[in-house]
Amino acid sequence: MMFLEESLIFFPAPYPAGDWDPAGLAFEDAWFQAADGTRLHGWYVPHADPRAVVLFSHGNAGNLSGRAEMVRILHERVGVAVLIFDYRGYGRSEGKPDEPGVMADGRAARAWLARRENIVETDIVLMGRSLGAGVAVDLAAADGARALVLESAFSSVPDVAAYYYPWLPVHLMMRTRLDSAGKIAAYHGPLLQTHGNADTIIPIQFGRRLFDAANQPKQFITIPDRDHNDPQPLQYYDELTAFLDNL
């Protein structure tokens, strides 16, 4: 299990898998390097008058090209400038994913976005889904953020693994931690968290466990009848807009 751990957590789809010319989304290719020199790629969608500047960290499977419609909704319906990026080994990014690597990739993406928007890094709204929520929490806990938005998040990887393998001492065995519940208390800013109550991959209890560990101000939205990989309902984006307007 330890030997296979990273292959069980990370499911990258390297380029050219995916749709790299999606209809209805005008973006700029973003190229930047992590601290260890790994070359990374993202899509940057500017906005003439953004409600916020958002860094989006996606989940553990596929690559950014599968999130084009979500990025379009964020840009058009919510009115934000957004950078979505691929971790090492995903899409057009080089390397092989592991926990330290994807954390470093998030830092490099945030730095690029701050330079491109000519703002300080703490003025960026950090938004993450599933695995990406772990990346967003790590960034926010270490350095702060204008706000933190988490979708289908989890308390830690060993917590979720123990749910699936209750007969194994996974908390002792696993190297990959993504211990968001252990980190989030260091973040003192607005939090919006959502989770589907029909999530069969990361049951909602693990999102609640993370939320309980977070400081105020915070808001939890339960998405009815949504599984882990179901798209967010459009009403959620209206809630997100209201949240950003109140920052």
pTM over 0.85: yes
Candidate from 158-162, 201-205, 214-218, 219-223 with smallest mean pLDDT: 158-162
What digits encode the pLDDT tens for the residues 51-90?
999 999 999 999 999 999 999 999 999 999 999 999 999 9
Catalogue all structural domains in the chain, each as residue range(s) with its CATH number.
5-245 (3.40.50.1820)
Is the preceding omega at residue 217 within 30 degrees of 0, hence cis?
yes
**What pLDDT is stored for residue 175 in this prediction?**
84
38 pLDDT more than 80:
yes
7 pLDDT more than 70:
no
What digits encode the pLDDT tens for the residues 154-191?
999 999 988 888 888 878 788 888 999 999 999 999 99
What are the b/e assignments for 145-172, b being 16+ CB within 10 Å?
bbbbbbbbbbbbbbbbbbeeeeeeebee
3-state secondary structure string across 148-209: EEEECCCCCHHHHHHHHCCCCCHHHHCCCCCCHHHHHHHCCCCEEEEEECCCCCCCHHHHHH
99 pLDDT more than 80:
yes
**What pLDDT is stored for residue 172 in this prediction?**
79
What digits encode the pLDDT tens for the residues 117-152?
999 999 999 999 999 999 999 999 999 999 999 999
| Alpha carbons 242 and 210: distance in angstroms, whole number | 23
Q: In which band, very low, low, confident or very high, does the pLDDT at 1 lie, cut at 50, 70 and 90?
A: low
